[in-house]
Amino acid sequence: QVQLQESGPGLLKPSETLSLTCTVSGDSVSGYYWNWIRQSAGKGLEWIGRFYSSDNIKYNPSLYSRVTMSVDASKNRFSLQLKFVTAADTAVYYCVRGKLHSGYYFYFDYWGRGTLVTVSS
């Protein structure tokens, strides 16, 4: 069974860098779209971006200048970095697998349990 587990600091100060890792078990990271989605009370569900390969990455334009995603296939891990965080980045962050269905279409088939990240001075 596929399982996704997010890990990383739960508390950050403004201007710091958020770094999260998603450890994938039960399947390889290869061949899927790996997404980060966050959920906050104020903005609901927000798609941060996705990684398929090093030359196939898309970020939400609203976060583009601050986001970096990567996959370490040797460790079966997916990572997120978000620079210069503010209180507006406080949210539950989900690691989400995107399964390719047809063409370029994929749906979100597995979600991690989510990890709460709070930004506060």
Partner 1 sequence: DIVMTQSPLSLSVTPGEPASISCRSSQSLHNYLDWYLQKPGQSPQLLIYLLSNRASGVPERFSGSGSGTDFTLKISRVEAEDVGVYYCTQSLEAPRTFGQGTKLEI
Binding of partner 1 by 108 (CB under 8 A): yes
Asked if 45 and 60 touch (Cβ cutoff 8 Å), the reply is no
The residue range among 8-16, 67-75, 80-88, 105-113 that interacts with partner 1, by the rule CB under 8 A, is 105-113
For the segment 32-71, give every residue that binds partner 1 (CB under 8 A): 35, 44-47, 49-50, 58, 60-62
Q: Does 101 bind partner 1 (CB under 8 A)?
A: yes
Rounded least distance, CB 60 to partner 1, Å: 4
Closest distance between partner 1 and the C-beta of residue 61, in Å? 7
Residues that bind partner 1 (CB under 8 A): 35, 44-47, 49-50, 58, 60-62, 94, 101, 105-109, 111-114
